[in-house]
Amino acid sequence: MAKKSVRIKPWRIVLLVILVWIGFSFAKGGLANYKLRQEIEALEKRLVVLEMRKEDLEREIEEWKSPENVERIAREQLGLVKPGEVVYRVSETFSGDVEHDVEKR
């Protein structure tokens, strides 16, 4: 029995190397494309959240600009009153025992 020798032609090796290189290039590009699509999706979700937050802040700004809110803040935080108004402030809680409260002062 004579062995038949298998002879590999050089152009087949070159062709195989080129095909493998093209395959890796496509795989690498596909992976990069997938990662970019994932990043775009995450950024779009973040954009929606930020747009909602922006709308909330714009609504809050409009509420702060309302005359009723400005008056409330002026009264509560700054202690301002309208002309002719009298403000009564209670400094301590009343315990119900008049003699004790009088002695305490």
Range of the domain at 67: 10-81
Domains held by the chain: number: 1
**pLDDT over 70 at 17, yes or no:** yes
Q: What is the pLDDT of residue 31?
A: 94
**pLDDT over 60 at 39, yes or no:** yes
Q: Is residue 70 part of a domain?
A: yes
Q: Dihedral (C-alpha) 94, 98, 99, 100: value to the nearest 10 degrees?
A: -20
Q: What is the pLDDT of residue 98?
A: 56
Instruction: Give the pair of three-digit tokens for residue 15.
Output: 């062709």
Q: Is residue 92 part of a domain?
A: no
CB burial readout 22-41, b (16+ within 10 A) else e:
eeeeeeeeeeeeeeeeeeee
Give Cα separations from 61 to 23, 47, 70 (angstroms). Answer: 56, 21, 12
Q: Is residue 64 part of a domain?
A: yes
Q: What is the pTM of this model?
A: 0.50
- How do residues 44-99 score in pLDDT, each as one tens digit? 999 999 999 999 999 999 988 999 998 898 888 888 888 888 877 777 666 666 55
Q: Is residue 94 part of a domain?
A: no
Are the C-beta atoms of residues 79 and 87 closer than 8 Å to each other?
yes
Q: What is the pLDDT of residue 104?
A: 46
